[in-house]
Amino acid sequence: MAKSRVLVVGMGGIGTVCAYGLEIGGLAEVTSVMRSNYAAATEQGIDIQSVEFGHVRSWKPTHIIKSVPDVSAQEIPPFDFILVATKNVPDILPSVVDAVSPAVTVGKTTLVLAQNGLNIERPFIDRFPTNPILSSVVYTGAEERAPAKIYHTDPDWQKIGPYYSPLVSAKVVEKSAEKFVNILDPKGKRKIFYDADVSGARWRKVAYNASFNSVAAALQIDTSRLRMSQHLIDDLVLPIILEVQAAAVSCGVTLQSDLVHSVMQQDMADSFYRPSMMQDVVNRNFMEIETIVGEPLREGKRHGIAMPTLSVVYGILRGLQLRIREEKGLWQPEYEPGNPYM
């Protein structure tokens, strides 16, 4: 049986762990898009220190390329799947959908979105209404600490399911989801699960990211110190969890009854964990504000849910993002026409 052709866009920690899992499963031929880490990967291979796979030295996927290919212009055979594992920062151009579009064969390629936040599928549905879209909620601890040097500290755990759209039959997208789960975990020994209703898992992850991740970023305080302070949990983290829970219910998604306890215990009490957006602020990288904070906030407000705490944190994070944009030359401090605060 021919292997599935899989393009992986975003070869950081998560993307690399997924790419490696796909290749060792034996059912996929992986093409990895690598930019800043291209030279290191092609010359020395990728080094993965993994809690799940052991120490993998000098590994290379089947193909390594510098940029997303244009399958039509370059006359490349269609990809069966495109796994998108980049950060999702829609307020910074180019958008993710623009970046991967050249590699998509209309009506053929299944798009697997392994990114954070809510409603990440909508831009892809708008651009590719006849392509199957899969949503993957990833709980995996992996980061790239140097070019092509991956530290995989928590086993890969994913919930993958169909994202339904009007022009793709339910059977087609469900079959695509089942197939991708199989090629990622053909022996069924890893924590890769098919989830027919993956939206619940996505909201559950947002409950953590919109609370602990966003507050840690805004205050530059790790999760252990947030809990040790007590008042930061009572004043900020806990209200946000409850606001997100109410927003989810308003959208028809019922989260687990012990949601608050589950989110509180997600990180070890003495781990002094620095969530991704906190690290982004330190490293002056763009944060995934809109998908993690903005989207649940907008969904809640659309259904009449009061979300005052999340609204304030959202405003603060947008301010931090503005500073980073200015540092990178993407924003000029000047009054625009129509600004009422001149």
Output the pLDDT for position 141: 85
Output the pLDDT for position 236: 99
211-233 pLDDT tens trace: 999 999 999 999 999 999 999 99
pTM of the model: 0.94
Report the C-alpha gap between 232 and 234 in whole angstroms: 5
300-334 pLDDT tens trace: 999 999 999 999 999 999 999 999 999 999 999 99
Report the C-alpha gap between 270 and 1 in whole angstroms: 49
Q: Which of 117, 120, 119, 133 is nearest to 82 (CA)?
A: 133
Domain 200-327 belongs to what topology? Answer: N-(1-d-carboxylethyl)-l-norvaline Dehydrogenase; domain 2 (1.10.1040)
Provide the sign of the torsion angle of the four alpha carbons 202, 33, 143, 185, taken in this order: positive
147-163 mean pLDDT: 93
H or E stretch at 6: strand 4-9
Report the C-alpha gap between 141 and 132 in whole angstroms: 27
Q: pLDDT over 90 for what percent of the chain?
A: 94
Output the pLDDT for position 151: 92
From-to residues of CATH 3.40.50.720 in the chain: 4-196
2-53 pLDDT tens trace: 899 999 999 999 999 999 999 999 999 999 999 999 999 999 999 999 999 9
166-196 pLDDT tens trace: 999 999 999 999 999 999 999 988 999 999 9
- Given pLDDT bands bounded at 50, 70 and 90, which one contains residue 156? confident
From-to residues of CATH 1.10.1040.10 in the chain: 200-327
Report the C-alpha gap between 140 and 331 in whole angstroms: 34
Domain 4-196 belongs to what topology? Answer: Rossmann fold (3.40.50)
The sheet carrying 54-59 orders its strands as 54-59, 46-50, 149-152, 142-146
Output the pLDDT for position 154: 85
Output the pLDDT for position 254: 92
Provide the sign of the torsion angle of the four alpha carbons 69, 73, 76, 77, taken in this order: positive
Average pLDDT over the chain, rounded to an integer: 96
Report the C-alpha gap between 126 and 136 in whole angstroms: 19
Q: What is the DSSP letter of 321?
A: H
Would the pLDDT of 1 be above 80? no
Would the pLDDT of 155 be above 90? no
248-307 pLDDT tens trace: 999 999 999 999 999 999 988 998 999 999 999 999 999 999 999 999 999 999 999 999
Report the C-alpha gap between 23 and 31 in whole angstroms: 10
Report the C-alpha gap between 176 and 179 in whole angstroms: 5
